[in-house]
């Protein structure tokens, strides 16, 4: 930007009278899901401050579940009121879109979050410590692992109930992320959900150093990708003179927009558009966990407390894909021919990379991490379709996938030995002999991951591949099918291990969970089978929800 331009920006700003700033007009009804969750998060912080330690757990769990359920009810009410279809509109002065995809994804995120919160609240799995029930989180996250302070905290029976407000803030950010209708809101939402997640990753009760390492890795790489995103936003602003999706889309389409005198030199410069867009895309693909921005996934998934991993794997993916869809379909439909080849490459690399590297994994959480990468690849295939079918198939897949994921990680929390969760695959040998039910449930989840018919994984995969083939990406379908075959190998390997291997003498035991985790797992199984056998109702929902408001 030249000095004259800066000068003109100054002078223009000085000349314009202050009363031209419009009073913000907020559609409270349409934003109610987000507002409920944010409000609950704030109340939750206050609970931390004012409720005695003994009462916090109950109060927090109660508040979180209530708030999420209320927010979900609000989403349903909005959808029933036609805000997803006919009354879809852009709210909060252009910052947030309330439309079909936004409501569908918010509903998915909220439902997934409710069941994930149940696993957060589980206190039956670990034996009581010094007579206090314990959950998956550190007694006192700030205490140095192994220190006297930590021992004292454990002895006193402290628990990190802060995870609930953190989770609520993360959920609030995730609700905004797929609905964000300008780049700044997108960035703010990203940070609002990322920062609590970094913290949540660090507070595992066992293997605390690993957990903290995971959090640091996640934070550093996440910050890096946020910087990419932010820089991309700046470049796009330079290109379009606005951060609003609609305005950028119009500029991309070549419509004449009043040129901001301060940006006269840069506006309409395609170099800025392409580089800026690539950087924004990088930021989003990082959150999605697509190759080559997937490096953080296995370490973070492995190190984070398993309930957090499940929550993150499901909800973050939903939110990030929502944002990605909106960006590609609303802001850049005019650029389809520019982004498609790139995304083709990313999708192919993600599908194959995730599936191939997963084969060598020996830790169940890392295995599921690579599996989530492969699934991100399948989802990208649907994104690339660039048709309404593509949108609805991705929406459906996200819903199906998140429940399988949360269920699978919930099962992982059950299999334990003296050192906490027994995540090494060799310890799962013969699990089917010891606890047929748990092994069978996990097998259902694995088969769903593998996309075997009559599970939700198959319906989702079929929908996505069908959309991709319809959208002219037949080659992607073939790659997808091949990587499914590769992926099937390692899912089956786990099943072989559970059912056909002899149990080891010092093998892990399966903890009997409380009703909370049982509910989570049951919900996972039910959704997996229902979406596999009779998906029509949910496909209809996704279809109705597949139109973005512009």
Partner 1 sequence: MSFPLLTLTAAVPAAGAILTAAVPAARRTAAKWLALLVSLATLVLAAVVFVRFEPGGERYQLTESHAWIKDFGVRYELGVDGIGVALIALTALLIPFVILAGWHDADPLETKSSRWRPTQGFFALILMVEAMVILSFEATDVFLFYVLFEAMLIPMYFLIGGFGDRAHSGSDENAAAQRSYAAVKFLLYNLVGGLIMLAAVIGLYVVAGNFSLTEIAEARANGTLEMATNTERLLFLGFFFAFAVKAPLWPLHTWLPNAMGEATAPVAVLITAVVDKVGTFAMLRFCLGLFPEASKWATPAIIVLALISIVYGALLAVGQRDIKRLVAYASISHFGFIILGIFAMTTQGQSGATLYMVNHGISTAALMLVAGFLISRRGSRLIADYGGVQKVAPVLAGTFLIGGLATLSLPGLAPFVSEFLVLVGTYARYPVAGIIATTGIVLAALYVLVLYQRTMTGPVKEEVRELPDLRVRELAVVVPLIAVLIFLGVFPKPLTDVVNPAVQHTMSDVQQKDPQPTVPNVEAAQ
Buried b (16+ CB within 10 A) or exposed e, 490-508: bbebbbebbbeeebeeebb
Per CB under 8 A, the list member of 488, 529, 530, 547 interacting with partner 1 is 488
Count of residues interacting with partner 1 (CB under 8 A): 39
Non-local CB neighbours of 79 within 8 Å, separated by 6+ positions: 103, 104, 107, 545
Q: What is the DSSP letter of 426?
A: G
Of the pair 36, 469, the CB lying nearest partner 1 is at 469
| Residue 482 engages partner 1 in binding (rule: CB under 8 A) | yes
- What is the tally of helices (H) and strands (E) in the chain? 22, 5
| Residue 62 engages partner 1 in binding (rule: CB under 8 A) | no
Q: What's CA 218's distance to the chain center, in Å?
A: 14
Per CB under 8 A, the list member of 220, 485, 512, 526 interacting with partner 1 is 485
DSSP secondary structure string, 167-192? HHHHHHHHHHGGGB-BHHHHHHHHHH
| Residue 473 engages partner 1 in binding (rule: CB under 8 A) | no
Please state, in angstroms and rounded to a whole number, the distance separating the CA atoms of residues 328 and 316: 18
Lookup result for tokens 């205490």: 143
Largest CA distance in the chain: 81
Lookup result for tokens 């392409």: 274
Is the distance from CB of 263 to CB of 5 less than 8 angstroms? yes
Residues 151-170 that bind partner 1 (CB under 8 A): none
Cα separation values, 439 from 128, 401, 405, 487, Å: 25, 19, 15, 19
Q: What's CA 87's distance to the chain center, in Å?
A: 27
CA dihedral for 177, 182, 185, 186, sign (positive or negative): positive
Per CB under 8 A, the list member of 34, 374, 469, 527 interacting with partner 1 is 469
> Minimum Å distance from CB 456 to partner 1?
12
Please state, in angstroms and rounded to a whole number, the distance separating the CA atoms of residues 414 and 277: 43
SS3 state at 132: strand
Judged by CB under 8 A, which stretch of 125-133, 363-371, 408-416, 471-479 contacts partner 1?
471-479
Per CB under 8 A, the list member of 51, 234, 454, 530 interacting with partner 1 is 454
Judged by CB under 8 A, which stretch of 23-31, 224-232, 244-252, 499-507 contacts partner 1?
499-507
| Residue 466 engages partner 1 in binding (rule: CB under 8 A) | yes
Please state, in angstroms and rounded to a whole number, the distance separating the CA atoms of residues 341 and 324: 16
| Residue 406 engages partner 1 in binding (rule: CB under 8 A) | no
> Minimum Å distance from CB 482 to partner 1?
7
Tokens (6 digits) for 496: 């072989």
> Minimum Å distance from CB 535 to partner 1?
6
| Residue 453 engages partner 1 in binding (rule: CB under 8 A) | yes
Per CB under 8 A, the list member of 459, 517, 520, 546 interacting with partner 1 is 459
- Letters for 519-548 (x = contact with partner 1 by CB under 8 A, - = none) are ---------------xxx--xx--x-----
Non-local CB neighbours of 46 within 8 Å, separated by 6+ positions: none
Per CB under 8 A, the list member of 447, 448, 494, 523 interacting with partner 1 is 447
Is the distance from CB of 402 to CB of 112 less than 8 angstroms? yes
Judged by CB under 8 A, which stretch of 26-34, 102-110, 403-411, 498-506 contacts partner 1?
498-506
Judged by CB under 8 A, which stretch of 217-225, 331-339, 345-353, 495-503 contacts partner 1?
495-503
421: phi then psi, degrees, rounded to nearest 5 = -70, 135
Judged by CB under 8 A, which stretch of 6-14, 121-129, 201-209, 450-458 contacts partner 1?
450-458
Per CB under 8 A, the list member of 458, 517, 520, 545 interacting with partner 1 is 458
> Minimum Å distance from CB 480 to partner 1?
8
- From the list 34, 56, 33, 58, the residue with the least C-alpha distance to 46 is 56
> Minimum Å distance from CB 410 to partner 1?
20
Q: Identify any residues that bridge with 406 across adjacent strands, giving them in sequence order.
A: none
Non-local CB neighbours of 264 within 8 Å, separated by 6+ positions: 5
Please state, in angstroms and rounded to a whole number, the distance separating the CA atoms of residues 301 and 366: 7
> Minimum Å distance from CB 488 to partner 1?
5
| Residue 360 engages partner 1 in binding (rule: CB under 8 A) | no
Per CB under 8 A, the list member of 58, 152, 259, 496 interacting with partner 1 is 496
Per CB under 8 A, the list member of 29, 85, 501, 522 interacting with partner 1 is 501
Per CB under 8 A, the list member of 435, 456, 517, 546 interacting with partner 1 is 435
Judged by CB under 8 A, which stretch of 7-15, 182-190, 409-417, 492-500 contacts partner 1?
492-500
Per CB under 8 A, the list member of 500, 504, 509, 515 interacting with partner 1 is 500
Of the pair 32, 361, the CB lying nearest partner 1 is at 361
- From the list 470, 472, 478, 456, the residue with the least C-alpha distance to 530 is 456
Which residues would be at the binding site for partner 1 (CB under 8 A)? 433-437, 447, 452-454, 458-459, 462-463, 465-466, 469-470, 474, 477-478, 481-482, 484-485, 488-489, 492-493, 496, 499-502, 534-536, 539-540, 543
């Amino acid at each position: 930007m030249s000095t004259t331009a800066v000068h003109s920006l100054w002078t223009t700003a000085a000349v314009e009278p202050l009363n031209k700033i419009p009073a913000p007009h907020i559609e409270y009804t349409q934003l109610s899901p987000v507002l409920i969750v944010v409000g609950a998060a704030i109340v939750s912080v206050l609970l931390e401050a004012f409720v005695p330690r003994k009462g916090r757990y109950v109060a927090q769990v109660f508040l979180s579940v209530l708030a999420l359920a209320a927010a979900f009810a609000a989403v349903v009410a909005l959808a029933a009121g036609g805000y997803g279809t006919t009354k879809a509109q852009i709210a909060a002065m252009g910052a947030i879109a309330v439309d079909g995809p936004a409501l569908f994804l918010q509903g998915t995120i909220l439902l997934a979050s409710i069941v994930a919160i149940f696993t957060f609240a589980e206190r039956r799995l670990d034996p009581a410590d010094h007579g206090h029930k314990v959950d998956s989180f550190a007694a006192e996250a700030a205490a140095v692992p192994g220190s006297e302070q930590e021992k004292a905290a454990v002895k006193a029976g402290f628990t990190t109930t802060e995870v609930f407000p953190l989770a609520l803030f993360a959920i609030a950010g995730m609700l905004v992320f797929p609905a964000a209708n300008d780049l700044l809101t997108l960035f703010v939402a990203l940070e609002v959900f990322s920062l609590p997640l970094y913290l949540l990753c660090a507070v595992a009760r066992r293997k605390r150093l690993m957990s903290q390492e995971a959090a640091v890795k996640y934070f550093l790489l996440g910050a890096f990708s946020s910087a990419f995103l932010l820089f991309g936003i700046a470049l796009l602003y330079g290109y379009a003179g606005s951060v609003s999706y609609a305005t950028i889309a119009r500029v991309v389409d070549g419509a004449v927009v009043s040129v901001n005198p301060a940006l006269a030199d840069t506006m309409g410069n395609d170099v800025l558009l392409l580089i800026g867009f690539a950087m924004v895309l990088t930021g989003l693909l990082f959150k999605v966990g697509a190759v080559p921005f997937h490096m953080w996934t296995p370490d973070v998934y492995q190190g984070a407390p398993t309930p957090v991993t499940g929550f993150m794997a499901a909800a973050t993916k939903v939110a990030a894909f929502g944002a990605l869809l909106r960006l590609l379909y609303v802001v850049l439909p005019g650029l389809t021919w520019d982004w498609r080849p790139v995304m083709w490459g990313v999708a192919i690399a993600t599908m194959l990379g995730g599936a191939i590297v997963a084969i060598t994994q020996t830790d169940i959480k890392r295995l599921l991490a690579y599996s989530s990468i492969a699934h991100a690849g399948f989802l990208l295939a649907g994104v690339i379709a660039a048709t309404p079918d593509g949108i609805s198939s991705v929406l459906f897949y996200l819903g199906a996938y998140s429940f399988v994921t949360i269920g699978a990680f919930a099962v992982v929390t059950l299999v334990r030995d003296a050192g906490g969760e027994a995540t090494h695959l060799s310890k799962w040998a013969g699990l089917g002999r010891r606890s047929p039910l748990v092994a069978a449930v996990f097998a259902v989840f694995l088969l769903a991951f593998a996309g075997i018919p009559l599970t939700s994984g198959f319906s989702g995969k079929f929908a996505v591949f069908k959309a991709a083939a319809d959208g002219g990406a037949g080659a992607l379908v073939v790659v997808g099918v091949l990587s499914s075959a590769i992926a099937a190998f390692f899912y089956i390997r786990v099943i072989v291990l559970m059912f056909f291997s002899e149990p080891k003498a010092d093998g892990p035991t399966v903890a009997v969970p409380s009703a909370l985790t049982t509910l989570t797992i049951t919900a996972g199984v039910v959704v997996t089978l229902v979406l596999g056998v009779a998906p029509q109702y949910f496909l209809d929902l996704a279809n109705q929800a597949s139109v973005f408001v512009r």
